[in-house]
Amino acid sequence: MNRQTNDNVLPIGPLMRWLVLVAFVGLLGLCYVHMKNKLKVDGDRCRELEMAIKLLDEKLQVAGNEITRLTSRPELERRRQEGLIRMVPVQDSRLNRLRVQTSALAAEPVVRGPDGEVLR
């Protein structure tokens, strides 16, 4: 009677090699899907931020135009005539004048004291 004891031998080495290869390819596929999803989410967020910046630019432009309109000379004159703005003449003691020296290119400020005399 001739008995063989190793009839059901499984090739574990090549099987493990294929299992590791399949797991690696599956992991790469999951990483690829994750990166594509993250790219789409980040792209959507970037588009939202660009739209927000565009809206803020438009609001800033409108505010700048409104400031220019409200500080224009005709508008200030109209508001002064309506009595909304009171104009006070500038006092001579509050003015600072610059005297340009001919010997040098530097300017020397001329400051007036409280009694109106020139201080140096």
Structure tokens at 48: 């939202």
- Predicted pLDDT of residue 98: 81
The string of pLDDT tens digits covering residues 83-110 is 888 888 888 888 888 876 666 555 566 6
* 3-class secondary structure, 98: strand
The string of pLDDT tens digits covering residues 48-59 is 999 999 999 999
Residue type, 19: L
CA 104 remoteness from chain centre:
44
Per-residue b/e over 72-84, b at no fewer than 16 CB within 10 Å? eeeeeeeeeeeee
Residues 86, 58: Cα–Cα separation, whole Å: 33
